[in-house]
Amino acid sequence: MKKLNVVLAIIAVIAIAAACVFGIQKGIIQKDLDALKAQVQELESSLKQAQDDLQTARNELQSAQDEAAKAVEAAAKAAEEAEKAQSKTFKIGICNFVDDASLNQIIANIKSQLKEIAAQKNVTFEVKEENCNLDGSVMQQIIQNFISDDVDLMVGVATPVAMTMQAMTEDNQIPVVFAAVSDPLGAGLVESLEKPGANITGTSDYLDTNAVLNLIFAANPDASKIALLYNPAEDSSTAPIADAKKILAAKNITVKEYSGSNISEVILAADAIIADGMDAVFTPTDNTIMAAELSIYEKLAEAKIPHYTGADSFALNGAFLGYGVDYANLGKATADMIGNILVDGANIAQVPVKTFDNGTATVNTETAAAIGYDYDAIAAAFAPYCTTVQPITTAESFDDLAQ
């Protein structure tokens, strides 16, 4: 019995020891499990973060791809438009009324400005220039050739050309841009300066007749006999000559009209002016007289009769004074109008007629000296009536002055 108790005691001790060992091991295992769970949770969190980062990267990549696709599409479209623009060619027919310095200067500046527009807009202008030289039949043939050539736009330099182009495009409605038309309303070319209303618009060299006549009396307050030299067939002269007669009549000035339809007749008219002892001569923007100026300026200067005219080209060709617009600027503005209509697609019926400040007095210093005027004294006398007074010497063209 005693041995049995001892055995039982030993077994109990072993059981207790075993239980203690098992409890310790269980605690260690539980601790390890908790640590393992924490590591798993940490790994799961890291994995989720990695997945989120991956999705963000995918989104950014997709966005970049979308932007790249848009950029490629835009570049392709721009290249296509550039190619189309480069391949676009516009055919323009220009008809000049007569070979004179002002009108030639207009055309030269139209062409140079069109070159600049072509470079800026990536287009091509094919320009054909003709001159009818005061011949109505030749003018009509030139315009008919433009129509047959299927031009995109015509340019009529001076009133007679513009009016003929207007009549010959009523059916085909080819756009017409005029240049140097003194009275577009009076000539019946447009419904109004603001809204021409048809297939024609352009630039006007409207002349302030009263301003020119003021200069006559600024230079010679005692002037009492004024000659009006012009071609009655030119529409550009109709309104200013009528205005001149009214203005001078109100001043009780003797007025006599002299006319010519060609150079020979104009020379005879100048001889009559000299024979009649007129104090001064007024000519508006009349192309016939302009064409004859080189043939009459010397005899007028020798007779001490100053010729007051409506364009600086007259003074270039020997007249005492030319008063009016800057024709180089008018030419550039005409080209800008052409570009606006052909390239930018402006509705020609809604493109306003452009007018200009015509307060520039151009004095031929050689002619002034021949008449007996001192340029500085004349410039001072004219200054209150002009925005600018400038000197010039005699030449056939403005290009000759630059040489």
- Tokens in use for 279? 């104090």
Q: Report the alpha-carbon distance of residue 74 to residue 82 in Å, rounded.
A: 12
How would you classify residue 387: left for phi > 0, otherwise alpha for psi between -120 and 50, otherwise beta? alpha
pLDDT the model gives residue 63: 80
| CATH domain 86-202 topology | Rossmann fold (3.40.50)
Residue 307 contacts residue 319 (beta carbons within 8 Å): yes
Q: Report the alpha-carbon distance of residue 311 to residue 317 in Å, rounded.
A: 11
306 CB-contact burial (10 Å; exposed 0-12 / middle 13-18 / buried 19+): buried
* pLDDT tens, per residue, the chain with 403 residues: 666 666 666 776 676 655 555 555 666 667 767 777 777 777 777 777 878 787 887 888 888 888 888 888 877 776 665 555 555 999 999 999 999 888 999 999 999 999 999 999 999 999 999 999 999 999 999 999 999 999 999 999 999 999 999 999 999 999 999 999 999 999 999 999 999 999 999 999 999 999 999 999 999 999 999 999 999 999 889 999 999 999 999 999 999 999 999 999 999 999 999 999 999 999 999 999 999 999 999 999 999 999 999 999 999 999 999 999 889 999 999 999 999 999 999 999 999 999 987 689 999 999 999 999 999 999 999 999 998 999 999 999 888 886 6
The reply to whether CATH 3.40.50.2300 applies to domain 209-325+358-402 is: yes
Q: How far apart are the first and last CA of the chain?
A: 151
pLDDT the model gives residue 81: 59
**In 3-state terms, what secondary structure has residue 282?**
strand
| DSSP state letters, 215-246 | HHHHH-TT--EEEEEE-TT-HHHHHHHHHHHH
pLDDT the model gives residue 5: 65
Q: Where in the chain is the domain with CATH 3.40.50.2300?
A: 86-202, 209-325+358-402
Residue 284 contacts residue 234 (beta carbons within 8 Å): no
At position 111, the amino acid (one-letter code) is K
Q: Report the alpha-carbon distance of residue 210 to residue 310 in Å, rounded.
A: 11
In sign, the C-alpha dihedral spanning 303, 306, 310, 315 is: positive
Residue 215 contacts residue 373 (beta carbons within 8 Å): no
pLDDT the model gives residue 72: 83
